[in-house]
Structure 1
Amino acid sequence: MIPFTDEELMAPVKNAIEKIRPSLALDGGDIKFLTVRNSKVYVQLRGACVGCASSGTTLKYGVERQLKIEIHPEITVINVPIGMENEIDKL
């Protein structure tokens, strides 16, 4: 169990994602932080990442791995498809 509230995770997660964004931008991609709910980080891959065959790998072994290293090893990252931002509770 992650020993932080969702509110406590917001700032460190945002900071970590801002560090990751330049790497994605090198390939024409981007990432947008949406929220943290029940210790799950919801993001939205954008740009060239949308529909890219490597986007799942980028999410798991790039974004999630970095958050696990910087914040807590049990963090999970979930990509929210464009247009589904209001459906996070259903994902």
Structure 2
Amino acid sequence: MMPFSDEDLKLPVSSIIESKIAPMLAQDGGAISLLSIKNGKIYVQLQGACVGCSSSGSTLKYVVEKELQASIHPDLVIVNVPQGMENKLEEL
């Protein structure tokens, strides 16, 4: 069970994404946007060169998710939101 509320997670998650992850993705022409946090699931959307990149799944799992789990809580899960699904998070 997650010991934090979704609201409690918002600031640390967005801080890590903005300070550590976004600059790394930007080096390769990519970007990441935090869309929502629901029940410990962090909904992000890859943008720029990350869209359609064959390494994007690995980047999410082994870079983004791993960093957030190590820094905040090991039960956090990253969910990539495809373009056009921003208002349909419950379907993912």
Provide TM-score, normalisation by structure 1: 0.98
What is the rounded CA distance, in whole Å, between the counterparts of 2:75 and 2:40 in structure 1? 9
Give per-residue Cα distances to partners, 1:42-89, cap 9 Å, x unaligned.
000000000000000000001000000110011000000011100001
Alignment of 1:47-66 (within 5 A): 47-66=48-67
Question: How many residues are aligned here?
Answer: 91
What is the rounded CA distance, in whole Å, between the counterparts of 2:59 and 2:32 in structure 1? 11
What is the rounded CA distance, in whole Å, between the counterparts of 1:10 and 1:89 in structure 2? 18
SS in 1 for 2:2: coil
- Note the residue ranges of structure 2 that are not aligned, 5 or more in a row: none
SS in 2 for 1:85: coil
Give per-residue Cα distances to partners, 1:13-60, cap 9 Å, x unaligned.
100110210000000100000010011000000000000000000000
Paired position in structure 2 for 1:90: 91
RMSD value, Cα: 0.5
Asked whether 1:4 is paired with 2:30, we answer no
Provide TM-score, normalisation by structure 2: 0.97
Asked whether 1:16 is paired with 2:20, we answer no
Asked whether 1:72 is paired with 2:73, we answer yes
Deviation beyond 4 Å, 4+ runs, structure 1? none
What is the rounded CA distance, in whole Å, between the counterparts of 1:69 and 1:3 in structure 2? 15
Alignment of 1:23-34 (within 5 A): 23-34=24-35
Paired position in structure 2 for 1:37: 38
Q: Which amino acid aligns with 1:71?
A: I
